[in-house]
Structure 1
Amino acid sequence: MNKELNGYVIYCKDTNSEVAFGVVSDDYECIANSNYIPNRLKHYLVQIEDKRFFEHKGIDIRGISRAFVENLKAGKIIQGGSTISQQVARNILKDNRKTISRKLRETIKAIQLESNYSKDEILNLYFNNVYFGKNLRGIRTAGLYYFGKELDKLNQAELLYLLTILRGPNYYLKRPDKARERYIFLSNTLFETKLISKNRNQKNIKSQLSFKNNQLQPIKSASIPYIIEKTDNEQQKLTSTIDIKIQSFAKQFVSKSKYPLSIIAIKNNKVVAFASSYGTDYPFISKSNVGSTLKPFLYCQLRDSGISQLENFDAVKNSLNWDVREAGYYKSYLNLSEALYYSNNNVFINAASKNNIDNSIAFLADIFKRDKSEFYPSSILGATKKGISLFELASAYSSFFSLKNLTDSRKECLIILNKIFIDKLGFTVENAFLKTGTTNDNKERFAILGNPELTFAVLRNENAINDESKEGGFMKEISRNFSKFFKINKNYLWI
C-alpha cells in the first residue's frame, strides 16, 4: 500500500500555511509525480529541445547530422543530437556515462518508449523524470524546491527558468550569469517562433525571480503510516502531522551531530518531527532494548501498588541473584525515588520482586500494547522479546504523562525526572523531564525528554571512534542543542 504512494508530495503545517517538506521515495532522490503538466510547457520543450519530436520514432537522424555539422564548425559541442525520447530513456536508465554501450542502451530504450507510449505520454514521462540538480527529479519537484510552488501556481517566467536549467542544472545553478543569458535566449526564441507574444517576452526578460530553495527530503514509504493525516490521490499529495519548525530542529540536530543519531518528537499523540542518520524510517521500524527508560513506568506502577516512596531496598545485590551492572554505587540502600534518579537496577528488581514481578511485566505490556509473552523478568532492565522502537518509546511517554492522565504517582515521578533534566543538562526548564537509558556495553544510548505536551526520544547509535563512557558527550550534545530549542520554544512549557 505504501509503495503506491511513491512520488507523492508530503506537506506539513507552518502556522496557517502548508509547506512541502518531502517526497515519498525509498531512493535517495526526490521524484515528485504529477498528473498535470501545462500544455504550453510541452510546446516550449519541443521547440527548444526537439523540433521534429512529433515526426520521428525516437531517433532523429537529421537532428544527429545537424548537430554533428554544427559542432564540427564550432570546434566544440554546442548542440546535442538526442531526441526528447532519448533524454527520457537516459533519465529512466539514470546512466550519464559517455560510452557507446550507454548510447546503445539509450537508443533501444527510446525506440521501446515510442512503441509503448503516445507522444503526449512521453512528454509526461520526460517532465516527471528529468534531472534538476542536487537530488531532484521531475518538474513538480523542481517547482517546489526552487519556488515553493506547485506546477499550477508557477508563472510563465518561473516555468521558463526551469526549462533554462534543464541542459545542465548544476552548471547553471553555480553560474547565474550564464543562466540569465540562456533564459533570455530561450524567451527570445519562443517569441520568434510565435509561441509567446512580444509583451510576454518583454515581461519574461524584466522578471526578477525569487528563489526559495525549499529543502525537500526523500521520506521512506515505511514512515508514511505514522505521519499522515490526509491523502489526496488526485493531486498525489499527503497532508502530514509534521511541524515544520520542530522538523527543522530535528533534522539539523542529526545532521550536525558527530555521532550517528535518531530522533522523534510527539506532540499531543502525533508525530511532529523525525530524523535519523540511518534513514527516515529508522525511528519507526528499528527496535532494540531500551535500558532504564522503562523505570519511570515501573516507578509509578510500584508506587500505585503500595511501595512506599521512602522504603529502602538493597542497591548492591538483588533477590533474583542477577549479576547486573550499575553506573555507580551511591549508597548500599536506596529508596524508590533515589533509585529512579540514579537508575539503580538492583532496587527496581527488589521492589518489583516484593510486589510480584509478574504485575510489573503485565503493566509494561499494557503500556506498549503488546502481548505479555513479549516481556520477561529482565524487562525490568529494559529488555523485551522484539525490542521497542523510538516511536513506541516516545509515544508511551507522551501518553503516560499526558496532562489528562496525570495521577499523584505520575506527578511525583515527573518531579524526579525534572531534577534529572536540570542536573544532567545544566539548565532549567519548568516541569521538563529527562530519562536516559544505556544498553549492554554502552552500544546504544537513549534519552527521553521534553514535557507531556511535546516529547522527544533520542537514540545515539554505536560509534567506536567517538565512543565515550556512559552518557558523556551524548548528554553534552543534547544539552547544547535543546537549550537553544527550549529558549526558542518557550510556549512548550507545561503547568
Structure 2
Amino acid sequence: MKKKLTFIIFVLFFIFLFLFNFLYEYELQDNTENLIYDSKGNILKGIKNISYENYNSIPNNINQIIKEIEDKRFYSHFGIDIKAISRAIHSNIFLGNRQGASTIDQQSIKLSQSAFFDRSILQKIKENFIAINLNTHNSKEDIFLYYINNLEFPNQVRGLNSACLVYFDNNCENLFLSELLFLVSIYQTGTNPLNNNNFDQLKKRSKLLCNQISNLDFVSDNICKNIYNLPPLSSNDIYHNFDNLANHYVDYIQSSKNNNSKNFDLDLHNMINNIIKNTFEYRNMQGMNDCCILVLDNTGEVLTMNICRSYEDLFAGQVNACTSRRQTGSVAKPFLYLYAMKELNLNSESILEDKPIEYILEGENIYAPKNFSQTYAGDVKLAQALGSSLNVPTVKLLNDVGVGNYINFIEKLRINVGKENKDKLEKNHEFFNERNLGLSAGLGTYEMSPLNFAKLWKIFFDINEYDFLDSYEVQIKEVYDILTKNSYRNLSFGIDSFMSVPGWAVKTGTSRRFVDGWTCGANKQKGLIVCVWAGNYNGTAMMDSGVNTAGYLWNLVVNNL
C-alpha cells in the first residue's frame, strides 16, 4: 500500500512538473535598462547601453571564469544541479559547513525583478521549479547572457561589463585576471571596494577564487601566488566618479517603498554640491564635517538630498545624514507653539514670562531652564518668545499643555503629515515618551531624522489635506507669520542673521553642547521647504550654534534657488 501511494505521489509530481513547464513560461525581467531618472530625464542610477548585446559578445575569459567559479556543470544540468545539491546537504548536515548549490539559472531568477527575495525553504523549492521552467523555454546562452548583464554591484552598478567600466574604466577583456577576480569577489559578497576596511577582504577572496580556477589554460600558479602584488593594489587604483549621481538619494529611494524620483532635480543637486565644496574652509573652521541639505516641494516630495560627506569617503561615506535620527533642538519649537496656542487659547500678542523659574520633578529633582544667552527678557510677546527662541517661556508652555499631549501631537503629525509608519513610531515611543524626556522635550531632546522633520513643514502650505488640523488653521497661519518676521528674532539673533531672508518662515535650533545644528524654513510663494542639519557623525561638538552652522548653509541655498 505504501509503495503504491509513493508511486502515485511521484506520478502526480511529474504530471505537475510537466504541466508547469509547458503551460507556463517564466520570463526573466531585464534590469539592464532599469534606470532611475530625475525630473528632467537625467540618469540617477544605472548606466545605459554597456551590457553585452548577445552571448557571442561576452569575452571568452569572462565566459570561462564565471562558469568555473559559479556553475561548472552549467551546460549539463537542466536548471538545478542534483550533484551540487547532494554535496551541499552532506556538507551542511554532516560536516557543519555552510555550502550553497545554486546554479547560474537559479541565481538569474534571484536577480530578476519579479523574483521573490525571501530565502525560505518554500522559496528555494519555487526557484527549483522555475529554474527547470527557464531551461525548457530558453537556451543556456540566453540564460548566461541575462546573468552576466544583471549581476549586482555596490554603488548602483549592474552588469559585469558595467562594473569593468565603472570600477576600472576599461572593457572586461582588457583587465588583468586579478582585477576580474576582484570584481567577482565584489558581486559575490556585496562588499563596497571603496571602503579601505573592505579592500583586504576582497583581495583575500580574489586569491581563493584564483586557486579555484587554476585549471584554466590562461591561469598560472604564479599569478595566484602573487595576486596581492597585482592590481588593484589599493582603493586608489579603482576608477570611480559617483558624486554627481546622487547616490545617497538613490540608496534612499531604493530602500523605501515609495520608489519615486520624478521630482528630483539633478541640476539643483549639483548646484548644492558646489555650495558644499566651496564652504569647506568655513565648515572646517566651525568643526562641521557632516550635514544634510534637503529641498522639498510643498507636497513633501524630495527635490534634492545632499550630504556634506562624499559617498566615496572611507570613514562613513554611505551614511545618509538625512535619514539618520538626531536631536531636533529648538528647530521643533514652532510645532509646540502652534499646539500650545490652540490648547491654551493664545495668540502672537499674548504675554509670556521670561523669568527664572524652577520645576520640581519626580524624586524632588529641580529643573531650571535657562535661555541660550543666560539672560532673561521679562514679559515678552509670544511672537518674540518663538522668534527669538527663548527657552524659559517654551518650557512653561510645555508644562501647561503637558509633555505627553505634545508628544502625541507630534506623533500624529508624523503619521498624518509625514506619512511615517505607525508601527515604527510606536516602537520609537518606547523611548521618546513623557517619562524619559520630561520638560526637555520642549527644547528638542525629541529625535527625528531631517527628512521626517522637513516633511512636517508641509502644514504651512495646505492644511485642508489633513482633517485633524482644521481647528489649527488660525494658529498655523500665525506661527508662519511669526517665523517670517525678522523683528521677532532681534532679542536673540540681532537685526541681521543668516535667517534674514525675505519671504521665508524659518527657525533654527541647536542641541546640547553644539552637537546638532538645524535651520529649516518654508516659503509659500516658492512652494519650497529647505531644511539643513549640521554636525559630526562621531558626535563631536561644533564651534557654534545652529544659526551659524546649519544656518550658514541654509542661507546660501535659499539665496541660490
TM-score range, shorter chain: 0.5 to 0.7
The C-alpha deviation readout for 1:153-183, integer Å capped at 9, x for no partner, is xxxxxxxx98599548xxxxxxxxxxxxxxx
Correspondence list, 1:399-410, <5 A: 400-404=459-463, 407-410=473-476
Residues 336 and 348 of structure 1 are in contact (CA less than 8 Å); yes or no, is this contact kept in structure 2?
no
Q: Which residue of 1 aligns with 2:9?
A: none
Q: Which residue of 2 aligns with 1:380?
A: 442
Correspondence list, 1:438-449, <5 A: 438-449=510-521
Q: Which residue of 1 aligns with 2:211?
A: none
Residues 1:320 and 1:292: Cα distance change in structure 2 (over 3 Å): same
Residues 1:136 and 1:128: Cα distance change in structure 2 (over 3 Å): same
Residue 294 of structure 2 corresponds to residue 264 of structure 1: yes
Q: Which residue of 2 aligns with 1:417?
A: 483
Find the partner of 1:306 among 345, 349, 354.
Answer: 345
Residue 467 of structure 1 and its aligned partner are, at CA, apart by 2.6
Residue 549 of structure 2 corresponds to residue 474 of structure 1: yes
AA paired with 1:380? G
Q: Which residue of 1 aligns with 2:38?
A: 13
Separation of aligned partners in 2, 1:320 and 1:229: 47
Residue 224 of structure 1 and its aligned partner are, at CA, apart by 2.8
Residues 1:472 and 1:341: Cα distance change in structure 2 (over 3 Å): closer
Separation of aligned partners in 2, 1:323 and 1:302: 20
Residues 296 and 304 of structure 2 are in contact (CA less than 8 Å); yes or no, is this contact kept in structure 1?
yes
Residues 1:214 and 1:334: Cα distance change in structure 2 (over 3 Å): closer
The C-alpha deviation readout for 1:114-152, integer Å capped at 9, x for no partner, is 775445544444444599xx995637858998xxxxxxx
Hey, which of these two has a bigger chunk of strand by percent? 1
Residues 535 and 542 of structure 2 are in contact (CA less than 8 Å); yes or no, is this contact kept in structure 1?
no
Residues 1:272 and 1:226: Cα distance change in structure 2 (over 3 Å): farther
Residues 1:270 and 1:21: Cα distance change in structure 2 (over 3 Å): same
AA paired with 1:368? R
Residues 1:217 and 1:120: Cα distance change in structure 2 (over 3 Å): farther
Residues 330 and 510 of structure 2 are in contact (CA less than 8 Å); yes or no, is this contact kept in structure 1?
yes
TM score, norm. by length of structure 2? 0.51
Correspondence list, 1:275-294, <5 A: 275-276=306-307, 277=309, 278=316, 282-283=320-321, 285-294=323-332
Correspondence list, 1:28-427, <5 A: 37-39=52-54, 42-45=55-58, 49-50=59-60, 82=61, 84-86=63-65, 88=66, 111=72, 116-117=103-104, 118-128=140-150, 138=159, 141=162, 167=175, 215-218=244-247, 223-224=253-254, 226=256, 228-229=258-259, 240-254=262-276, 257=280, 258=283, 259-267=289-297, 268-276=299-307, 277=309, 278=316, 282-283=320-321, 285-304=323-342, 305-318=344-357, 320=359, 322-328=367-373, 329=375, 331-369=377-415, 370=425, 374-376=432-434, 377-378=438-439, 379-384=441-446, 387-398=447-458, 400-404=459-463, 407-420=473-486, 423-425=496-498
Q: Which runs of 5+ in 1 are unaligned?
A: 24-31, 51-81, 90-106, 146-160, 169-211, 231-238, 487-495
Separation of aligned partners in 2, 1:477 and 1:113: 60
Residues 353 and 378 of structure 2 are in contact (CA less than 8 Å); yes or no, is this contact kept in structure 1?
yes
Q: Which residue of 2 aligns with 1:65?
A: none
Residues 520 and 529 of structure 2 are in contact (CA less than 8 Å); yes or no, is this contact kept in structure 1?
yes
Separation of aligned partners in 1, 2:161 and 2:142: 17
Separation of aligned partners in 2, 1:335 and 1:37: 69
SS in structure 2 of the partner of residue 310 of structure 1: coil
Residues 37 and 44 of structure 2 are in contact (CA less than 8 Å); yes or no, is this contact kept in structure 1?
yes
Separation of aligned partners in 2, 1:350 and 1:474: 28
Q: Which residue of 2 aligns with 1:208?
A: none
Separation of aligned partners in 2, 1:130 and 1:359: 47
Percent identical pairs in the alignment equals: 16
Residues 227 and 241 of structure 1 are in contact (CA less than 8 Å); yes or no, is this contact kept in structure 2?
no
TM score, norm. by length of structure 1? 0.57
AA paired with 2:497? K
Residues 1:270 and 1:411: Cα distance change in structure 2 (over 3 Å): same
Separation of aligned partners in 1, 2:31 and 2:496: 45
The Cα RMSD (Å) is: 4.6
Residues 229 and 240 of structure 1 are in contact (CA less than 8 Å); yes or no, is this contact kept in structure 2?
no
Q: Which residue of 2 aligns with 1:437?
A: 509
AA paired with 1:261? C
AA paired with 1:411? K
Residue 451 of structure 1 and its aligned partner are, at CA, apart by 2.2
Count of residue pairs brought into register by the alignment: 350
AA paired with 1:471? G
